[in-house]
Structure 1
Amino acid sequence: MSRRARIEAAFAGAAHVTKLDIVNTRVAVVSMEPRVALAHYDKTTE
């Protein structure tokens, strides 16, 4: 018996089966307000 057939048999014999579709509309998980600072120190100008 293949793995897929064993899985399908397990679901067929289950007392309860729940199906859940989750939709996430984000294209990228990026915060709108980044909490970062970027600096460049030049010793000759200080």
Structure 2
Amino acid sequence: MQGIPHKRSTELRKLSRSKRTVARAYGGSKCHECVRNRYVFLINY
């Protein structure tokens, strides 16, 4: 996923939470296109 460093799972556990997730709505649980489409949908209605 864009914005998250490529590391092994043991190395990822050592990182702080802010470095393990992306700084956008839904925090990386949805892809950037899904989030963008959701905002476009909300703005249009």
Q: Tell me the TM-score normalised to structure 1 length.
A: 0.29
Max Rg structure = 1
Ranked by relative contact order (alpha carbons within 8 Å, sequence separation 6 or more), the top structure is 2
What TM-score do the two structures reach when normalised by structure 2? 0.29
Structure with the bigger percentage of helix: 2
